[in-house]
Structure 1
Amino acid sequence: MGMFKKSSLTGLGYDFVNREYLREGEDEYSRRFECQFNSHEYRNLTPVEIDVLQHNGNYSPNWNDVRVTDRFIPEQIQNSKFYGLVRIGNMSPSFIEFRDLQLPIGIYNSQIISSDIGDDVAIHHVRYLSHFILGNDVMLSSVNEMETSPTAKFGNGIVKEGESERQRIVLELCNENGGRSVVPFEGMQAADAYLCTRFRGDDVLQQRFLEITENHFSRRRGFYSTIGNRTVIKNSNIIKDVKIGSHAYIKGVNKLKNLTINSIEGAYTQIGEGCELVNGIIGYGCRVFYGVKAVRFILSSFSQLKYGARLINSFLGDNSTISCCEVLNSLLFPAHEQHHNNSFLCASLVKGQSNMAAGATVGSNHNSRGADGEIIAGRGFWPGLCVSLKHNSRFASYTLIVKGDFLHELDVRMPFSLVSHDVANDQVVIIPGYWFLYNMYALMRNTSKFLNRDKRQLKNQYLEYDILAPDTVNEIFSARKELEYAVGKSLGLESNETDQFYEEKGREHLANPAVRLQHEVLLENAEASKRKVLVAKAKESYWIYKRMIAYYAGKLLVDYLSENSIEKLEDLLLHLSDSNREEFVNLGSQLILKKDLDLLLQEIKAGQYNSWEEIHDYYHKLSANYPLEKFKHAMASYAELENLSTDKWDRDFINSLIHRTWETKKWINEEIFKSRSKDYENEFRTMVYDSEDERDKVVGKLSDNAFINQQADELTLLEYQIGQIKL
């Protein structure tokens, strides 16, 4: 009870900031007056107005500190108490309506302490409103407690004057031991969080990240909580130290504390029943409702938390959804999906477009002596039903994991793979390129699905959703080389040869379609155990990888020639003749050249960037250049695939790639239709329907499938583009 104290009633509402933290010429209202929505001229109440207010059951120990404008209606202030400096904006004889809630403008049955009330605000049954600045047309109804502390930080990881470093709020991302902790700030993007969690051995860089963050905020005390125009808060319990944007809708919450809640009319944020949110930042257009608990978190724009989700010490990227389940200590890039009550994600870096199935347990099993393991997964990560994984593990892009308990650490380096636990033979089985070989419908739908879910209004940062992009294509090249080595090792040759020797022998074997693989193909260093990791369909995977690299290059080539002349292409190809396939980094779902990232980090360390806004401008600059860099990467990839420098490409060679692209697109469409049609032909899928008519009523006709028809339109467009190209 050491914090309990008693003071004179006349002091209630004053001395918000201790005098020791005020500079010369400042008072406790200095920060308050810097953060105003309106610029009204306020006046004292007249004796008549005070008489009306008292007659209506209102009370203040000092009516001189209740200030109003010339458009004040005292009759619309009833049964309320005022302490400290309270300023009330313009009022009109009206009521405000939002959905089914209708409230008269004014203040009724409430207690207001040292706050600024905007124009035409309706405050009803707010038991305690202390040190808030309200915008215009705000509706507050049946709220128990709304207060602000003098050290309010609104979810940002800053330290106020007089506070110690241990009071700083940090997000312990990617690792439970806090070794990758980041300092959160309003406007933080997944790319920022990624940079701050990496390069932990570079103390100079990490110190610069902290300095840049702190440069954005004042360490002064005395900032008030704010609520933007036309925000509605009703039937809620505790709201403390919050910065809430305009047009937000908050109802039935248990607790909101130390938060920034971004919201605007075109992207309003809604927080609903039973939620408890503490120490966080919420982006524009978010939905949080039905019993969500989130502590030390960032929820990026147009994302959702719902149905009892737990988000703790985590960053969730744009356009993501988490419901029912628990997520701890994780950094999740945009377009993450996790819906099931019994899934669990912990201490992980997941690089976007991921989907967690029911029962998946990712990151809870430690193989070290402490809770310090990590899991890293590329784009399109999909741990299937009841998958259990061990720390530390790493997965290439678009890895699909079959149900099972994986008892050892995994390093799956081949993208688009199916990974399964063969319990009967005590081995792991990997099918590289599985998605291309067996489930083209789900894979190709992935790109359009996430593009449609991208609700950002300002898309100045290019988020890559295409399955074939510089990151995944580079992984394919690495996977082909690994397949060559594995096949070469399987041939029973001398065991003391070089890696290059085995790669050459494997390449020769894989290049001959008439020769079948006679021996098991095993991967080395793919699991931390002595048992086998078997590669299935090695030859098929090797060839489908090659076909998809060619398709990646050909599709971008057709797009380029649809807008540019063949002569311009030839000039570019000549310029690219000395270029190699570049390395790219997935920076929060934005792909950038590694050399551009290295330059950025060097310039940050050199002090050339002093704000995150400047760093974001650099992201946007790279985004503008990305389509060309992606095209150059595609041309370099095909040159490497065919072992022919771009300056040697004649028009016949270019034409053959275009024709090859059309053939592959046609084949893709056939595979899409084939993989989806299985759902209409499998007797176990159809046995629950009395007839084909009933099946079509329930799941829709195959001929009406919107995605299949969209792909047919894309083939038609590709054919048109090819027809317009003049070689």
Structure 2
Amino acid sequence: MNNIRKMPLAGLGYNFIEDALPKGKDEYYLRNEQWQSKDQFRQLTAYEIETLVRNDNTSDNWNNIFVSNEFNPQLVQHCHFFGMVRIGKLEPYYLEYRNLKLPVGLYNSTICACDFGDNVVVHNVNYLSHYILGNEVIVANVNEMVTSDVAKFGNGIVKSNEPENLRIELELCNENGGRAVLPFDGMLPGDAYLWTRNRDDIQLQQQFRTFTEKQFDKRRGYYGMVGDRTVIKNCRMIKDVTIGTDAYLKGANKLKNLTIKSTAEARSQIGEGTEMVNGIVGYGCRIFYGVKAVRFIMASHSQLKYGARLINSYLGNNSTISCCEVLNSLIFPAHEQHHNNSFLCASMIMGQSNMAAGATVGSNHNSRGADGEIIAGRGFWPGLCVSLKHNSQFANFTLISKGNYLSELNIPIPFSLVSNDEHENVLQIMPGYWFLYNMYAIARNSWKYVDRDKRIDKKQLIEYDFLAPDSVEEMFTALAIMEIATAKAWYALPENEPRKTLTDKDLRKKGKELLLEKPEDVSRLTIYAEGMENSHRKTVLTKVHKAYPIFRELIVLYGIKNIIAAAKPSFVALQAAIKTAKRTPWVNVGGQLMKADTVDGLKQRIRKNRISSWDQLHDAYREIGKEYAADKLQHAVASMLEIKEVPLKNFSTEHLQQWLVDSVATMEWMAEGIFKSREKDYKNPFRKMTYSNEKEMDIVVGSLENNSFINATKEELETYKEKVRRTIIDWEL
């Protein structure tokens, strides 16, 4: 039976807080704290009351209506007031926004215990209750817009005397809730990462919960707020939603228990058919056309559109999900997912990622429980109609070709193409695919996300370069895998059978020798990898003889580019900056790369309460970000010297001069690869056959000569050459 309470009409608009009030406080005390303009109001004059009554307005008590000195009673018509209402300046103007033109004032609305700023527009709001509206806000044609006394605005807290089972949690990364976190306004991708990963660290986990509890007031009675110049029109139900300035909400079906962040510099928009419950919408977000989102966080400048579904998930900054379904996932910044049949479940996707049409990641229950997890490094790209099985893990910039992958995968080689060869019944891994065949795409991936990063408050320094500490560390892992696998393939030949049992060190030495000195011999070997698929079929590594030297060359380039970027005045200054250079593990913390030791130190500071709030943790992210360039320089130089087998103490100007010159050749090779991989699209007859001639093709897709990215690459190459030349001259190399 529905619990419908019958209450005296005289109580409508009063007794908002269903809990004991603090001593000496009335039900409006939190409302007054929220609205600093409360002292600018007076009671109505007899003339104003008479005018309001004549305009078909009613109130349970006209003494509870307070107005500013510039109040015009003629601009309030056909309204019913209950409880205390405060109305700011009303002047004979109309407000216009995108061809919506409405006169300033309150019209045809039922209003309970609300505050209004100056020159607001409220038209045809069937029920507006316990809201504070800022200046020049437009609210038109809304069925219901209310705030309850226990409103949490999407945050994972419980109010005074509420049961714990009403707390909202986000069940990220895993369907069984074992990595659940408490959502909160301002949660960064790094927060979500640290919270979901360290589940065995009870003290750390408790600290995160404490941070969240401390950040919010448990007192009942906060009002919903609508910031200045926000426009809300043609919406059905808005409940327990607080909204920033300059937002635009139109045609939404249901918005409940939300914080919608918005400013003049980063305006958020919510459009037709949208239904959103229990979540946080970050600055500059856009949500429209039938979106469904439940238990979610959208970080700033992310988008949901065209029927997208986002459930129990965190969507990182500058990401777009269109037409797709995402459940129980933690997604780092710069994620793209389009097309109606893409599906992502129980995963941690670490940024710069792209889900192709038909990709299915998850929900193929391969045990008696819920799905496991998939972890994918930066640049993850499952191709058309890819189906993956939990649990799986992928290194940075892994491309997966079309296919149904029936077994769990563990791909530790970055920049690889994973293929399912059903004819030969083998799994194929091509290391360095991007550099061999699609340099344009990998280079543009880094460039475009820097260009698209619209964050106005960059608390976390997000790395977009494909040559960075995380990917370079994986390249070293890949070099070892290729060396060992090559040596095993060599010794598998009858004529090369070893006379003794070989250690991994022996195998690496032989594999390196073959790959550097006899690449043509290696090209004829069938090279197998181990431990990359949970099946009895074989895994084949292809193009190893080409990928191996490219990885080595790019690691050297990584070192040289960071030396140039450091802009030290001399080689002596460089030596001082790298005197402790060494390779160490790195961690991708929500898109911000940190040394593993730094992350351990960060967690220890949290455990010991030296970091005691989310704001302090975010300040720590900033401080770590300031040290990133110096830390990366040390890592880059150490990586370069390891490849060149030169101890740090023996690093000389002669070495540096030669490697600077070599790096120019690498950059020229990359620039040429970028151009040629794009040029193929213009020379391929199958790409050209739908156009009458080349001129029409250029008009439709743009000419190769005017490609902005390719032209920017050419300019970057010339700039790089000049920097190398200046370094050699200035450092007297």
**SS state at 1:328 partner:** strand
Map 1:517-596 → 2, pairs under 5 A: 517=522, 518-561=524-567, 563-573=568-578, 575-576=579-580, 579-596=581-598
1:662 aligns with 2:668: no
Distance 1:277 1:33 in 2: 29
- 1:152 counterpart residue number: 151
Map 1:676-695 → 2, pairs under 5 A: 676-695=678-697
CA contact (8 A) 2:324 2:343 kept: yes
1:701 aligns with 2:703: yes
CA contact (8 A) 2:362 2:371 kept: no
Which segment is superposed worse, 28-37 or 192-201?
Answer: 28-37
- 1:346 counterpart residue number: 345
Map 1:242-253 → 2, pairs under 5 A: 242-253=241-252
Distance 2:236 2:475 in 1: 53
Percent of aligned positions that are identical:
52
1:11 aligns with 2:25: no
- 1:392 counterpart residue number: 391
CA contact (8 A) 1:246 1:263 kept: yes
CA contact (8 A) 1:21 1:221 kept: no
1:716 aligns with 2:718: yes
Distance 2:530 2:514 in 1: 19
- 2:183 counterpart residue number: 184
- 1:263 counterpart residue number: 262
Q: Deviations over 1:251-294 (max 9, x none)?
A: 00001100000000011101111100110101111111111000
Counterpart of 1:5 in structure 2: which amino acid? R
Distance 1:306 1:519 in 2: 49
| Deviation, structure 1 residue 79 | 0.4
- 2:21 counterpart residue number: 22
- 1:420 counterpart residue number: 419
Distance 1:371 1:51 in 2: 66
Q: 1:108 to 1:488 in 2, by over 3 A?
A: same
Distance 1:469 1:73 in 2: 62
Counterpart of 1:635 (choices 634, 637, 642) is 637
Counterpart of 2:434 in structure 1: which amino acid? W
1:50 aligns with 2:49: yes
Q: 1:516 to 1:12 in 2, by over 3 A?
A: same
CA contact (8 A) 2:363 2:371 kept: no
1:220 aligns with 2:219: yes
Distance 1:587 1:292 in 2: 29
Distance 2:706 2:68 in 1: 62
**SS state at 2:668 partner:** helix
Which segment is superposed worse, 396-405 or 664-673?
Answer: 664-673
Distance 2:189 2:159 in 1: 26
- 1:308 counterpart residue number: 307
Map 1:225-374 → 2, pairs under 5 A: 225-374=224-373
CA contact (8 A) 1:484 1:502 kept: yes
Distance 2:333 2:144 in 1: 35
Distance 1:386 1:557 in 2: 42
Distance 2:339 2:536 in 1: 34
| Deviation, structure 1 residue 459 | 3.0
Which segment is superposed worse, 292-301 or 20-29?
Answer: 20-29
| Deviation, structure 1 residue 24 | 1.3
- 2:507 counterpart residue number: 502
- 2:614 counterpart residue number: 612
Distance 2:150 2:564 in 1: 58
Q: Deviations over 1:601-644 (max 9, x none)?
A: 01111111221010000000011111111111100101111111
Distance 1:621 1:259 in 2: 31
Map 1:66-85 → 2, pairs under 5 A: 66-85=65-84
- 1:464 counterpart residue number: 463
Distance 1:413 1:300 in 2: 29
| Deviation, structure 1 residue 48 | 1.8
Q: Deviations over 1:72-99 (max 9, x none)?
A: 1111110000001111112222211112
Distance 2:458 2:295 in 1: 27
| Deviation, structure 1 residue 236 | 0.7
Distance 2:66 2:672 in 1: 73
CA contact (8 A) 2:132 2:223 kept: yes
Q: Deviations over 1:668-700 (max 9, x none)?
A: 111111111111111111122222222222222
Alignment RMSD, CA only? 1.3
**SS state at 2:326 partner:** strand
CA contact (8 A) 2:388 2:408 kept: yes
- 1:473 counterpart residue number: 472
Distance 1:700 1:151 in 2: 55
Q: 1:200 to 1:124 in 2, by over 3 A?
A: same
1:383 aligns with 2:382: yes
Counterpart of 2:630 in structure 1: which amino acid? L
**SS state at 1:347 partner:** strand
Counterpart of 1:70 in structure 2: which amino acid? N
Q: 1:64 to 1:39 in 2, by over 3 A?
A: closer
CA contact (8 A) 1:40 1:69 kept: no
Distance 1:222 1:450 in 2: 42
Counterpart of 1:506 in structure 2: which amino acid? G
| Deviation, structure 1 residue 508 | 2.4
Q: 1:593 to 1:51 in 2, by over 3 A?
A: same
Distance 1:366 1:514 in 2: 43
Unaligned runs of 5+ in 2: none
Distance 1:402 1:302 in 2: 30
| Deviation, structure 1 residue 501 | 2.7
| Deviation, structure 1 residue 2 | 4.5
Distance 1:335 1:64 in 2: 54
Counterpart of 2:550 in structure 1: which amino acid? I
Distance 1:289 1:610 in 2: 38
Q: Deviations over 1:639-658 (max 9, x none)?
A: 11111122211111100110
Distance 1:555 1:615 in 2: 31
CA contact (8 A) 2:144 2:238 kept: yes
Counterpart of 1:652 in structure 2: which amino acid? E
Distance 1:697 1:601 in 2: 55
CA contact (8 A) 2:234 2:251 kept: yes
| Deviation, structure 1 residue 130 | 0.4
- 2:160 counterpart residue number: 161
The count of residues paired between Structure 1 and Structure 2 equals 722
**SS state at 2:40 partner:** coil
Counterpart of 1:660 in structure 2: which amino acid? D
Counterpart of 1:11 in structure 2: which amino acid? G
CA contact (8 A) 2:400 2:418 kept: yes
Distance 2:716 2:65 in 1: 66
Q: 1:514 to 1:197 in 2, by over 3 A?
A: closer
